[in-house]
Copies of this chain bind each other. A is one copy, B any other.
């Protein structure tokens, strides 16, 4: 089957589109009519088999995650998802694989409102690059650079679940109960926090999504804002499944340097914390530290003493 027939068959149902999409898949380019006066947020992320997800990952989960990591970047900017392109490189044209991949992609796309508008299919080692486009009012973007001294560092949801699931997977453990299945889903099907990202516009002064681990990602906010941060180890939010399954000695490492959580890390002035929490609705927003003048990210234990960490955030090289 040729490239064009493949794409038509499996991705046609994905192209139902918001009104901003003037022309979707099938021409040399897609056409968007941007919402009048708004700015567009644009992000590209690549997932490589064996590097960003285990080789055995189900194709539906790969489809979900490839889009979710991009929607997470839009969320961290406070942008409303509009559309995305899909560059899919596959070892062979496998009909069942594509059907499952497209199903997972669709399941992630539909609640977000983002439409598939184009892309490219090529043959090669499995890799997926998605470019996502969102909209937001001028001046409304949540940047990394806006953190101010005294801001509370807050995170949505819980941290460490995906890293624990990956560790269990790599140890050959098959999910055996609800807790382990829930943890695995946190790795395979992260929920992009776009509703929270939109709701935090005007309340948070800086934001990033936690993709490489809180330490590293908060470090980007600090560098961009010309500041530092202190984190309270005992404040890091933990899921019930994580609390039950993560060995106590590994918890801090998993929560601080484990990637793949795709929660938001935002900096909020203390006076806005209640509003920010209300804005996130049912999603918990937990203060885990504060922005300080001294550069770097430091950790404090339950007694307020500075502790050292030796591990580092995930790096691609």
Contacts and interface: CB of A to CB of B under 8 A. Distances in A.
A74 B29 contact: yes
A118 B43 CA distance: 7
Interface stretch (A77-85, A253-261, A283-291): A77-85
Contacts of A2: 315-317
Interface in A48-72: 48, 51-52
Number of copies: 2
Given A48-B123, A120-B46, A122-B316, A28 B89 contact: no
A238 interface: no
A22 interface: yes
Interface residues of A, number: 66
B77 A28 contact: yes
B131 A131 contact: yes
A120 B45 contact: yes
Interface in A259-317: 315-317
B73 A29 contact: yes
Contacts of A26: 144, 224
B31 A141 contact: yes
Given A28-B209, A29-B79, A44 B87 contact: yes
A144 B76 CA distance: 37
Contacts of A125: 124-125, 127
A241 interface: no
A93 B316 CA distance: 10
A39 interface: yes
A30 B45 contact: no
B123 A317 contact: yes
A102 to B, nearest CB: 16
Contacts of A22: 39, 138
Nearest to A50: B124
A165 interface: no
Given A28-B208, A73-B29, A316-B122, A46 B141 contact: no
Interface string A120-156: 1111110101010110001001011100000000000
A42 interface: yes
13 contacts: A1-B317, A2-B316, A6-B317, A29-B73, A33-B40, A44-B85, A45-B120, A46-B87, A46-B89, A46-B129, A48-B124, A123-B317, A124-B127
